[in-house]
Each structure stands twice: as C-alpha cells, then as structure tokens.
Chain A
C-alpha cells in the first residue's frame, strides 16, 4: 500500500511537470501482442512526438472486448483528453462512448476499421481496393484463366467483408477465373498453413493463391511439400516481402496494409484540433502493390526491406502525405515525454 501511494505520488508529480501547453491525446486499442497492432501503436507514439504539438499520450492498450473498450474510452474522457484515436473492437459496440466523447467536445478518430457513430472521423486503409489490386494482378499473372485458392481473413470481420467485395469485383472482370477453394484463415498462421497443406494434399488443381495477409506460411508449405509454386498474393509483412526476393521461382506480390494508419489517425486528430477538419468524415488510404516479376517491382521490394524492422511488422512503416515521423522514430516507439 505504501509503495502504491509512493508510486502514485511520483506519477502525480510527473503529471504536474508535464502540464505545459499542447494537446493531450488518448488511444484505445483492444488487441495486444499482434505485430500489425504494435506497429500501429508505435506509429501513433512516433507521430505524436514528431508533430511537436502533443503534450502527452494516454494509451489504453489491452486485450478486451467492446464492453472493455467502452470502459477505456470513458476513462479517457475522464482523463480530459482533447482527442481519442481508437481502433474499434467492432463497428457498433462502442458507439455509446464515442457519442459521449464527441458530445464532450473531444475529437474521435477511428482508425483501421469504421464505427457507425456519425460524429466520429474515420481513417482507414481501403480494404476493398487492397483485395481488388492484389486479385487483379494475380488473375493477370494466371493469364486470365484457371482456378484460384481464396484464403480469406476472419469470418464476420469488417475488413474481411470489404476485402471480399474487392475480390468479387476483380473476379467479375475475369470471367474465366474460378475459385478452387474458399477458406477462412482467421488471420491465424497455424490455421492457414494447415488449410493450404490440406488443399495441396487433396490434389485440387489450382493456378494461383490469394491470401488475406497470412502469406509467408503458405510459401513455406509449398517449399516444404515440394509442390510446384504458383503465383501468390499476400500483404507487406516483412517475412513475405523477404520471401519474394529470396525464394527461387516464386512469383508473387505484396499489397500494402500499413499499420502506420495509426500514425495517420493521430495526424488527422491534430489537424482537426488545429481547426483544419477535412471535408469528408471518412478518409481512405489507398494501398500499393509490390510484385517481384518486373524490375520496377523488384526495386520497390528492395527499397521496402529493412533488416531493423521486426519480422512481424508490415514493412510499409509510413503513409506519404499523412505521417511525419522518421524510420528511426517509429522503430524507437517512443511517445512524447518517454
């Protein structure tokens, strides 16, 4: 108890010292220990630091459900933050607290996924375009005909629904492409690998694989089983990007899905606090495609690879036009006052 009081007194002292001018920004995230989300949080910290306008970050970052996120957002309101950047647990579940925040004059920016509460701003990767871009490239690579293995994300997730729309749009443009197998990987490495092993073992004929970001284990499965490689599309996770340069005979493409969208969310929140609100409440970040077939694509892949990055992180660490931090700042993962 004594220690607790001492710690609290120290923390109070620190809070007192930091009471200079500048914005106080709250962050709420409900998935801990996932490379993409960790990059997102580091991008938020780095952007807050690089902007020079943020006095302190108040981060609620733990594994919980929508009810827990309601608690976190309400605690952030109690903490008196100027803006809250949130990666919502789901689109509807946290609306009540988001409304309470905006009613209290707090700017709320939802990143990565949307919320349906209209008073919030949304800054998200364009997931429909993500799937369309990769699928279109894959179908062209397959010569416009053949069967594709369609390895989706988690059933019912907002991002998965959007990606499905993009994939279907590309399918419609290539009438001779059929789906050999459709599976949900749940964005779990082990599950995805088991599924592709089963598909290879079953001898279902296919000419290409589209994945929703569970990619490097799919390449591993081909290499380990000795099955002939087909074109594979994945996300820009460091492991897969490395394989695109190193695995003999692999044709593939990485579509960017930057976790640094979190940094862009902080940048947007600061812009709105500065009085420069965007005309639209929803801002979409468009993905890029890096393939290893042309020299131009190979150069992009080489430029993106960075040995200092965690292998679990997406290699696209910044979003041009939005984020202002340096590579060193995001790797350091330090916010203002740390």
Chain B
C-alpha cells in the first residue's frame, strides 16, 4: 500500500486538487450538481481522448502534432457517412472511422521510422496533410450523427443520475484499449523505447515496430476524440479544434515526462478534468476572458513547477 501511494503521489495529488476544485465550484455556484457534472464531463471528453492518445506517444518517447487534425478527419468522415445512415450502418461507420484512425496514426509512425526524420517535423508536416484531407472531405461544417451515438455521452447513467455517461464512456474505452496493452509485453516495450531506445534495442525490443504501434494507438484515440466531437455537436467540423496544445498541456500536468518512459494515463485524464473545471469556474465568476486565459496558463505552470520542486526534494531525502 505504502509503495503504491509513493509511486502514485502525483496522480493522487491531482485527484485531491480536482476534488478541491469541484468543492470550490459548489461554493461559487450552490446549484452546481448533476447537470453541472454532466456538462463538465461532456466538455472534457474530446480533450481527454486526445490527451490519452498524446500520452501514449509521449510515453513511447515521441510527440504527435497532427492529433487535432486527425480528430478533424475522423469527425468529418464519421459525420459525412452517418448523415442519413441507419443505426446498423452507423455501427459499421464507427468501426470504419476507428480503423481509419489506426491507419492515420500508423502512417505517421511509419513515416517517422522509415524516414528517420524527427517526429516533431514529420507530424508537423502531417498536420497540414490531415488538415487538407479533412477539408477535402467536407469544406464546411455539416453532416450528421446517429442518435444512439449521441446518446452515449449525453446525460447521466440510468439509476446513478449524478454519474455522467461521458465519464463512463471515457473509462470503458480507455480501459478496454489500454489495460490489456499495459499488462502485455507491448506495454513494457512502449515504456522501454521511451525510456532508452538504444537499451531497448539491445534488449531485443523491435523499436521501429513498437514506435509505429504507439502512433497507431494515438491515431485510434484521435479518431475516438473526433467521434466524440461529432457526438456532442451532431456535425463534423473540418477545422481542427484547440486539442493539440491542450493535450500536450494535460499530458505534462498529468505527470508524463516529455522525454518519455515515465507516467500513466490516469494522471493526464485527471489533468484534463482539472483544466476544464478551472475554465468553468472562471466563467462562473465572470472573470474577464482575456485574463482567464492568463490565469489558466499560470495555474498550469505553477502546478508543474510545484511538482518539480517536490520531485527534487523527494530525491534529496
């Protein structure tokens, strides 16, 4: 137990911070309740899925700047195909979009591995490619979304009204994809190539292949993120939303080391909820919107710096 707490101090700290923020929200707005949690969870969903995707590549020692653009491609593809489709067809479409996400991510990864050009350059270039693809598919917001898909993230769980469906959706999707990987050899390899690719290579880890898989997983979560945007808006938007920088910020705040090799997925997800709650509180307090952006950034820097101080102290003792 003690070891577990020591290993997860950061994540626990984030959970406490989130609880404190929710309490604060309740103080600011005494009416804050189930509907407030629901809107918070719905707003957080696309950010959380993007953050999970980003966290996986960062753990594997990379970064994917094209994540928001891949989300846009998934969103417009889903929305265009689902417009007027039956429920049965839309299930096939959703699976197709997820495969498309895997493929887009795998292309990113393969380009990095084959060309040996730094990931930051390749994914920056792919950002423009995927942006163009999204606009080619749909040049203006439009399309539709199946009703069952939209219902997946709207409202509370029947029987437990305060628990937003969006949270359950996020938990299930992430657990189903990530836990088996984390517990398998592949999970170990992802951390190994992020920690020290040379050592991993000498230990017999297929570095290139593992890297491609990391990017493919990122693409898969980007597709889920794009679908979640379509789920909440009911349409597809070809212009990427503000998910790239937000996901990098949440990954760092969530305790994943940008060099790779260390961190988990729970921390970044908690960080997403923290950032969304801060945004909500700033709106509730009607803080000047220009000042609000400064406050958001300041909190982020302050928390990360606070963590760095804690880490160095921990090392000394």
Question: What is the interface of chain B mostly: helix, strand, loop, or mixed?
Answer: helix
Chain A residues near B142 (CB, 8 Å)? 92, 156
Confirm or deny: B279 has a beta carbon within 8 angstroms of a beta carbon on chain A: yes
Confirm or deny: B276 has a beta carbon within 8 angstroms of a beta carbon on chain A: yes
> Which B-chain residue is minimally distant from A184 (CB atoms)?
B139
Within 8 A of A (CB), among B39-63: 39, 42-43, 46
Q: CB distance A93 to B289 under 8 Å?
A: no
Q: CB distance A96 to B141 under 8 Å?
A: no
Q: CB distance B39 to A77 under 8 Å?
A: yes
A/B interface sample: 6 pairs, CB < 8 A: A8-B281, A56-B286, A60-B289, A62-B289, A67-B43, A67-B229
Q: What is the CA–CA distance of A155 and B284 in the complex, to the nearest angstrom?
A: 35
Q: Of B39, B229, B306, which one neighbours A65 at CB under 8 angstroms?
A: B229
Within 8 A of A (CB), among B276-317: 276, 279-281, 283-290, 292-293, 295, 299, 302, 306
Q: What is the CA–CA distance of A72 and B284 in the complex, to the nearest angstrom?
A: 10
Chain B residues near A4 (CB, 8 Å)? 299
Interface 1/0s, chain B 240-283, versus A by CB < 8 A?
11100000000000000000000000000000000010011101
Q: Of B27, B39, B237, B240, which one neighbours A71 at CB under 8 angstroms?
A: B39
Given contacts A68-B242, A92-B142, 16 further A-B contacts (CB under 8 A): A1-B306, A4-B299, A15-B286, A58-B283, A58-B286, A59-B289, A62-B289, A62-B292, A64-B241, A65-B239, A66-B141, A67-B232, A70-B42, A72-B283, A78-B32, A156-B141
> Which B-chain residue is minimally distant from A81 (CB atoms)?
B286
Q: CB distance B43 to A79 under 8 Å?
A: no
Chain A interface residue number, banded: 35 or more
Q: What is the CA–CA distance of A70 and B31 in the complex, to the nearest angstrom?
A: 20
Chain A residues near B283 (CB, 8 Å)? 58, 60, 72, 75-76, 78-79
Question: 4 tightest A-B contacts by CB?
Answer: A156-B140, A71-B43, A74-B39, A65-B241
Tell me the A residues contacting B by CB distance below 8 Å.
1, 4, 7-8, 11-12, 15, 32, 56-68, 70-72, 74-80, 89-96, 155-157
Q: CB distance A93 to B233 under 8 Å?
A: yes
Q: Of B46, B235, B284, which one neighbours A90 at CB under 8 angstroms?
A: B235
Q: CB distance A78 to B280 under 8 Å?
A: yes
Chain B residues near A92 (CB, 8 Å)? 141-142, 233-235
Chain A residues near B276 (CB, 8 Å)? 71
Q: What is the CA–CA distance of A132 and B295 in the complex, to the nearest angstrom?
A: 45
